[in-house]
Amino acid sequence: MPELPSNTALNAVSDPIDPRPSASPPLSPTSRAVRPAGAKASRVAAASLVGTTIEYYDFAVYGTASALVLGPAFFPSDNATVSSLAAFLTFAAAFLARPLGVVLFGTVGDRIGRRRALVVSLMLMGVATVGVGLLPTYETAGLLAPVLLVTLRLLQGVSMGGEWGGAVLLAAEHAPPGRRALYASVPNAGPSLGFLLSTAVILPTLNLAGRDAFTDWAWRIPFLLSTVLVVVGLWVRTTISESPVFASTPDRTPRALAGTPAAGSRFPLGTLLARHPGRLFLGIGAALGGSAVYYLTIVYSLSYGPKELGIDRNTMLIAASVGSAAGVALTLPAARLADRIGRRPVMLTGAVGSVLWAVPMYASLSSGDVWAITGAYTVGLMLLALMFSPVAAFLPELFPARLRYTGASAAFILANTFGGGFAPLVATWLNSHWESPLVLGFYTGGLCLLSLLCLLALPETRDHEFDV
């Protein structure tokens, strides 16, 4: 596949995948954004990480709660599988709402500003998460309880639709030359850190309150603690500057700086589908397998292991937590390597490894041994880091500046929706027909193979000029 040009604007040349050129002219050398100092770029990356960690903490708290208590609390049934399916269905509902968040926040981010979109998305997530912590259960409110739960879960999904793309994009567009993947990968560690933070709250709460008290009322504590985290996150995000690349894009200066929508691309998603459909769909496929690995390990297996295989809940939480920590530790080194040798070599290595390791990883569940499961999950989530660390720069680099928020968000969020959001539901159905954890490996390995093929079809983007 041909590589993206390094010295011309992406939107002024033919797309290697979608050959129709964009109508937007290239920026002149004098209009290119002036890169901020490294210290300022680091602050922006750190602020993006804080916000993304909080958003994914909220999301992970719900995912863990759906595996542990939300089924019986909001969808009581004599059949435990039915309750679990109902709880995981609400988990998947948020993923159905994510595309709406892509449209909403992508439009705001591409027309008004990256930072404004991120502040609003964090506020929405905080309101929804705290609301879940205050909800009455089915025993108290009847059918109203699950209706309210689904409503708040949908709001969480809308919020997440705009979070990832905006956070990594703001960090990447502030990054010094040659370090784009590194800076973009900082907020990309947010999902794993959010899960670790949720576990650090849920596990002590579960142990201190006891299983019965946790199921009865203490499950609300992690949700309500989100109030403090969101306040901190909002304060951090309102102190950072807007993207210099966004501010220098044609049609946006000085309107963007004044907060006024600019002319052109009134509906960025429509423009994206018309001009760059090939990159969008291949970008979705490239992130599909990693999404399945992430959500099956940190959401589904927390329920599947204890309920179907008799594995202690703490064993599953420890395995997922240690694996996530290993993935976080590898995130920055993998991104730095991607800045040196290219995005595709690192991501392809992770994809090949994930295809080969998927079956052994989930086969470890049959042992029930904490060391075997933790070791298998650690390897699997480190391979995931190789796939997902460079993707924070890779997906934005596929699209021109005026469509970049929408393009990166749509590719990643739709991959999360199809590869991750429905993974617990699909896995529950598969295990109801084939009672073996090996089926999880074949399912995950198949999606990782699809990601591998999509990565092979996409070009290298490391040398692409990002200012346009």
**Is residue 151 scored above 70 in pLDDT?**
yes
Question: What pLDDT score was predicted for residue 247?
Answer: 73
- Residue that wins the pLDDT comparison between 285 and 257: 285
Please tell me the predicted confidence (pLDDT) of residue 401: 82
Q: What is the pLDDT of residue 333?
A: 96
Confidence of residue 199 (pLDDT cuts 50, 70, 90): confident
Q: Which residue has the higher pLDDT, 263 or 388?
A: 388
Per-residue pLDDT at 378 exceeds 60: yes
Say whether pLDDT at 24 is over 70. Answer: no
Q: CA angle at residue 294 from 431 to 279, to 5 degrees? A: 110
Which bin fits 458, alpha (ψ -120 to 50), beta or left (φ > 0)? beta
User: pLDDT confidence of 68, banded at 50, 70, 90?
Assistant: confident
Q: Quote the CA–CA distance of 107 and 122 in Å, as a whole number.
A: 16
Distance CA 81, CA 66 (A): 13
Q: Cβ of 290: how many Cβ atoms within 10 Å?
A: 29
In 390-437, alpha helices (H): 391-397, 404-415, 423-433
Calculate mean pLDDT across residues 170-195. Answer: 89
For the chain, percent of residues with pLDDT exceeding 90: 38
Report helix, strand or coil for 9: coil
pLDDT of residue 463: 86
Is residue 381's pLDDT more than 60?
Answer: yes
Q: Where are the domains of the chain?
A: 38-251+272-457
Question: Is the pLDDT score of 396 beyond 70?
Answer: yes
Mapping DSSP to helix (H, G, I), strand (E, B) and coil, where does residue 164 land?
Answer: helix
Higher-pLDDT residue of 351 and 435 is 351
Report the pLDDT value the prediction gives residue 39, as an integer from 0 to 100. 65
- The answer on pLDDT for 394 being more than 90 is yes
Q: How far apart are CA 24 and CA 89, in angstroms?
A: 42
| Per-chain mean pLDDT for the chain | 83
Q: How would residue 7 be classed by pLDDT, with cut points 50, 70 and 90?
A: very low
How far separated are the first and last CA of the chain, in Å rounded? Answer: 22
Q: What span, in angstroms and rounded, lies between the C-alpha atoms of 58 and 373?
A: 26
Judge whether residue 110 has pLDDT over 90. no
Decide if pLDDT at 310 tops 80: yes
Q: What is the pLDDT of residues 315-360, one digit of tens each?
A: 998 999 899 999 999 999 999 999 999 999 999 999 999 999 999 9
| Average pLDDT, integer, range 192-215 | 88
The tens digit of pLDDT for each residue in 226-284 reads 888 888 888 888 888 887 877 776 555 444 444 444 444 578 888 899 999 999 999 99
How large is the average pLDDT for residues 308-312?
Answer: 89
Residues 6+ apart with CB under 8 A from 29: none
Handedness of CA 254, 260, 264, 270 (dihedral sign): positive
The listed CATH number (3.10.20.30, 1.10.4030.10, 1.20.1250.20, 3.40.50.300) that belongs to domain 38-251+272-457: 1.20.1250.20
